[in-house]
Structure 1
């Protein structure tokens, strides 16, 4: 561990069965990119009525679709990022991404005419943001190569086969619609089977092709003859890390992880970092605050009831003391917990993220009576 003095360090690690906690007062924020010669900049919108009227009709419709949501809820805010027209390079998009780095967003949708180069830029940006404990997730239409990342939703739809009545769409033109649906799902539900009632046709796939697409990390739409819906709420992650879980490929589980990340980052940085003496008592106050929200998440359907915990990370604290030359062999566990640790705070916490009901097996038995 480095002993150099630099920016205060905040390290958050997720393990397979021990997740940290969250305290997110609001969720359901969408970032939508459009190109237009007018109204350039960032527009925080809480209703479709606030969409800038000087934008082109197609751009207004693209932003409007982000507000639609599903039968499970709608996003509470749409942040429209209007960038300069032209797709010759990625300069305008890069500038737009910088403009939202101070925003709190859950899902972002690229411009409806997004280029392959811009998709690559957005993938790189999202991965870097998530590595720094921000929580944006990209709805990427028809990626050229599988992103294989829990922060990127690979939305696969054949251009021109998606229709709402007589109007057909490319996958990119419908990205804002998918981002709005995902942002509007309550934290206790998943997006699986969320309906899009206006959609009358989707990409034709056999059942085997649907399964193959989902297993390859793609979010697809299906139509059961009555309504179009999301087949399964999955992200593009297919290569599970050694210390990870296959559940990390589910959007609902990652949303829970992101809520946890958001809480730890904003609460520690905003309420604790630099504000308190690094004493055992103050560490206990932080632990109590984290545990309180863990229990809130249990009631909200994010974490399994009764399994949440938070405590000083004894192993990490012991290793830090050893690195400082402290003889710990004769110290009790409580003495190690109460030991001074400079500016470092070592906490471990966890709980079990809860999935939604998505797979069913029901057996119906009938009583057969034989006549004598």
Structure 2
């Protein structure tokens, strides 16, 4: 009897690819804001009239802002401004801004403590977002937040990023926004205070382009450096606003990763490439969990159907110009299957040496699906070399 295959898995992965292209147009910004305790209490509490009926319904914490019309009037002017700045975006506005409110800390010692945001970060860790900004963060708290972010990325599979002011984390999940003064027509900002704008700008950058040289029309001045100093800042993993003689715009869109290693080379240093890697990781993990894991026997035929489904996903990303066309591959990892057989005492080296690759691919690996893949992420045009002969 012919096998019917796994149409639901194929469809799920293809839909994930299509959604990835659509989602890449706009991301999600998370803002961690401090507000007076009375205001937080008021916003999170239902208010009733004399008739006992609710007149003002409490908001949730976090609450979501799709447009500036969703910003609560009760917030401080600074917090309204942070949300507004995050909502500007770049090519488009961020898909949404998730605002996490915490009580403003009045004790100076606690206010400067490295773990000041620890409780709020626990809540953040349970939610889905792309870029985090904390406009009230100080230098002493950056290391704690960066370590928390790295732990979530490396150990918990949560592929989010954070924009930190002047913090050289040397890590792809941390954007080192290094400006110390940003001037607009209405206000002068510190680097910390302007991180919501930068997080929103990156989140509003489609994955088909980069945020390199993105203009900031509202900026009228900022700390300035020479051309050589700007080059050095880029090489140090900094992302910053600079003046080109006519307008203020962003530098090369790099994250803070400076020290490259085997398996983590130049592609991990660009914001665009890491965003695409994170999207692929999230999509394959979630779609496999929802549509495949636990639902099919782990035999060779079903492994091939899963491979076909993932290839369908990669094809969508190739068509969307996120991956190089006709380059992507997925297959069973022969070397890992061999290792599995040896570690479990199922076959000897001599027996495996006598088998061809197809025979090895068909060997039983119990619950494990051992695959390998290759893709090539497309970067944006940034460096143009054009000698002109006259």
TM-score class, shorter-chain normalisation, is 0.7 to 0.9
- Residue 90 of structure 1 and its aligned partner are, at CA, apart by 5.5
Q: Which moved more, 1:220-229 or 1:328-337?
A: 328-337
What does residue 380 of structure 2 align with? 356
Match in the other structure for 2:211: 191
CA distance in 1, matches of 2:273, 2:115: 34
1: CA distance, partners of 2:225 / 2:301:
59
Alignment counterpart, residue 292 of structure 2, candidates 247, 264, 272: 272
- Which residue of the partner structure matches residue 109 of structure 1? 133
Cross-structure match for 1:7: none
Secondary structure in 2 matching 1:248: helix
Moved more, 33-42 or 79-88: 33-42
Counterpart CA distance in 1 for 2:114 and 2:229 is: 34
Residues of 2 paired with 1:84 and 1:250: CA distance? 35
2:92 to 73, 79, 89: 73
* 1:95-151 deviation per Cα after TM superposition (whole angstroms, max 9, x unaligned): 2212122322111101x22123332221011101110322111100112xx210011
Pairing partner for 2:268 from 223, 240, 248: 248
What is the match of residue 29 of structure 1?
A: 28
Unpaired runs of at least 5, structure 2: 1-16, 45-60, 106-110
**In 1, distance between residues paired with 2:209 and 2:97?**
21
1:138 aligns with 2:137: no
Q: Please tell me whether the aligned partners of residues 65 and 96 of structure 2 are also in contact (alpha carbons under 8 angstroms).
A: yes
- The aligned counterpart of 2:317 is 297
User: Is 1:119 aligned to 2:139, yes or no?
Assistant: no
User: Per-residue displacement from partner, 1:22-46 (whole Å, max 9, x unpaired)?
Assistant: 9736350110111012246211222
Q: How does 1:1-372 map to 2 (within 5 A)?
A: 24=20, 26-27=23-24, 28-36=27-35, 37=37, 38=40, 39=43, 41-70=61-90, 72-86=91-105, 87-89=111-113, 93-110=117-134, 112-131=135-154, 132-143=156-167, 146-158=168-180, 161-327=181-347, 328-366=352-390
Instruction: Give the helix-richer structure, 1 or 2.
Output: 2
Bigger drift between 125-134 and 175-184 goes to 125-134
> What 5-or-longer segments of structure 1 have no aligned partner?
1-20, 367-372
Describe the shift of the 1:202–1:229 C-alpha distance in structure 2 as closer, same or farther (beyond 3 A): same
Q: SS at 2:386's partner residue? A: coil
Equivalence for 1:10? none
Q: CA shift at 1:273, angstroms?
A: 2.0
Q: RMSD across aligned C-alpha pairs, in angstroms?
A: 1.8
Native 8 Å contact 2:112 2:140 kept in 1: no
For residues 93 and 78 of structure 2, the distance between their equivalents in structure 1, rounded to whole angstroms, comes to: 21
| SS at structure 2 position matched to 1:264 | helix
Deviation at 1:247, TM superposition (A): 2.5
Distance 1:191 1:301 in 2: 17
Q: Is the 8 A contact 2:115 2:144 kept in 1?
A: no
Q: TM-score, normalised by structure 2?
A: 0.83
Is the contact made by 2:115 and 2:141 (CA closer than 8 Å) also made in structure 1? no
TM-score, with length taken from structure 1: 0.87
Partner of 1:14: none
Mapped to 1, the partners of 2:114 and 2:64 lie a distance apart of: 23
Corresponding residue for 1:12? none
In 1, Cα distance between equivalents of 2:131 and 2:235: 22
